[in-house]
Amino acid sequence: MSHINTHSEENRLREEISEIGRAFRQLGMAPGTSGNISAKCEGGWLMTPTNASLGALDPAEISKLDWEGNLISGKPPTKESFLHRAFYETREEAGGVIHLHSTHASAVSCLAGLDANSCLPPITPYFVMRVGRLPLLPYFRPGDPGMGEAVREYAPDYSAVLLANHGPVVAGKTLEAARNAIEELEETARLFLMLQGHSINTLSEAQLDDLREQFGARW
């Protein structure tokens, strides 16, 4: 019975990854074959395959890796699997990780003069609660394992990071939580870009304290 339940849960996660991928494509958050999604499962992680369109994922072809990162089944995993593993291996509560090249967050990652401690200011309570501080990581060429090492340094203390001239990586306790957080991040990035050139009223320290007390926000 345990084996059946485990298999059923893995299949459910495969379907959820595929559904989320389709939603991101429809929202314009996953152009071409960009972006990757993963979820922790029994015996390892499920990850979207390399060069796969998130809008056309076959649940059966989603990669399954063991705890050491070896391919168990499915197609070869995303070349950026080290981004996901950095979160899973250093953030025990992480159940899902998403990396996108979403338009507005990626645009923010190209701006000069960003606060490296948090690329986006606390302009809405929802961003503070669902994402928290968003540190900026340096630029790495695509596929550079150094990117994973950089994420690993921040993952214990932050659930999301922004890769310079690239895009965001977000971890959540569940895959659904990671999805909600990265969608909130993208919307906040859109608002931030719209507000460029205007004076911004960010949340005050007292308001941030209230969110920390009421919702456990990490800011």
> Residue 126 catalytic?
yes
Return d(Cα 21, Cα 135) in angstroms, integer. Answer: 25
Q: Which of 126, 153, 176, 187 is catalytic?
A: 126
Which distant-in-sequence residues (6+ apart) come within 8 Å of 95 by Cβ?
39, 40, 172, 173, 174, 175, 177, 178
CA angle at residue 218 from 217 to 219, to 5 degrees? 105
Q: Which of 16, 80, 184, 186 is catalytic?
A: 80
> Residue 158 catalytic?
no
Which amino acids are annotated catalytic?
80, 126
